[in-house]
Amino acid sequence: MGGLTKEYLIKRVAMFLLTVWLGTTLMFIIPRLAPGDPITAMIGRMSAQGARIENSAEIIAAWRARFGLDAPWHVQYLRYLYSLARFEPGYSLAYFPTKVEDMAARSMPWTLGLFGLATLISFILGNTIGALLAWRRTPNLVKALLPASLTFTSIPPFMLGILLIYVFAFGLKWFPFAGAHARGLEPGATWEFIKSVIHHGTLPALAIVVTTMGFWALGMRGMMVTTTGEDYMILAEAKGLRPSRIFWLYGVRNAVLPQVTALALTMSGIAGAAVIVEYIFTYPGMGYLLYQGIVNTDYTLIQGLVYFLIVGVALGVLIIDLLYPLIDPRITYHRK
């Protein structure tokens, strides 16, 4: 403990704010560099889909005024930042009286539960495999079999997801191919509901775990090779400590530190993967909601959801950063 100084805390929180600000600003600026504005684009799409729009010029003008698009850009920008900072991106365009923040709140637990858990499982499994691969005492048979578990490493999660649906949902019919729980089941703390959630979550979770595990294993193997060469490992051997103790507390404990940093760095990638995996599995989380926003050209929904994703990922990174000094004593040690 004690590694968490006030200075470090302020720095990390500032970093969090910078990240969120940068992400939202990119989201604001770049679409405006392109010709046209969202309302015109929306009318264009609606007429392209066959709907004849009467008085489209008036509609455009009215909507532009309604969404404040006729204000100068810096006013728009400040309004935009203000509404997002209060976590109130506003009404959904497609489901009008519903607010984006309410829709996001309903879908967030699914995304957080499924992908938080999947990432955790993948991190633990992958690091254990990687450490075992670099560990001299690992039985040869295990060492020969372990790399097979890394076969799917370079395959993107959503592609494996499609394969899994085809094999286990369409072919073998072991698992459902859509949704988060059986229809008509009241969400609650009943065993039946939990069973259904696990049953529906297995395939999407598998798609994430199997594809990301290898990344952790490869990194861990490299770190573990370095660690096993350290003097304190030899000393631990010489002292006659139990091999499992040396492995976990001397080897893994030290080799895993850079992996935790890597976890913070890959967080944004996991969020991206989650969006598409949810879409493939029609899993009722934020990613699938985002896809519905795309289909309905519901710009406030898309923008709001992506803002929440940015904040969520930045928050996750902030938490890892704040925990890091607690697990790595050297950070305290090196401070003056």
Binding site for other proteins (CB under 8 A): 15, 18-19, 22-23, 26-27, 30-31, 34, 38, 41, 45, 133-134, 136-137, 153-156, 158-159, 162-163, 165-166, 170, 177, 218, 221-222, 225-226, 228-229, 233-234, 237-238, 264-265, 267-269, 271-272, 275-276, 279-280, 290-291, 293-295, 297, 299, 302-303, 305-306, 309-310, 313-314, 317
- Burial per residue of 276-293, b for 16 or more beta-carbon CB atoms within 10 angstroms, e otherwise: bbbbbbebbbbbbbbbbb
- Closer residue to other proteins, CB minimum distance, 193 or 248: 248
Task: Specify whether the CB–CB gap between 192 and 185 falls below 8 A.
Answer: yes
Cα distance between residue 279 and residue 300, in whole Å = 19
> What DSSP designation does 331 have?
H
CB of 238 to other proteins, least distance (A): 6
- Closer residue to other proteins, CB minimum distance, 167 or 194: 167
Closest by CA position to 309, among listed 159, 154, 100: 100
- Burial per residue of 177-199, b for 16 or more beta-carbon CB atoms within 10 angstroms, e otherwise: beebbeeeeeeeeeeeeeebbee
**Beta carbons within 10 angstroms of residue 3's beta carbon:** 19
**C-alpha 208, offset from chain centre:** 10
CB of 187 to other proteins, least distance (A): 26
If you count DSSP H runs as helices and E runs as strands, how many of each does the chain have, helices first? Answer: 15, 0
- Closer residue to other proteins, CB minimum distance, 196 or 303: 303
Q: Which residues contact 26 (CB under 8 A, 6 or more apart)?
A: none
CB of 54 to other proteins, least distance (A): 23
Interior angle at CA 164, CA 160 and CA 168, nearest 5: 170
- Closer residue to other proteins, CB minimum distance, 24 or 196: 24
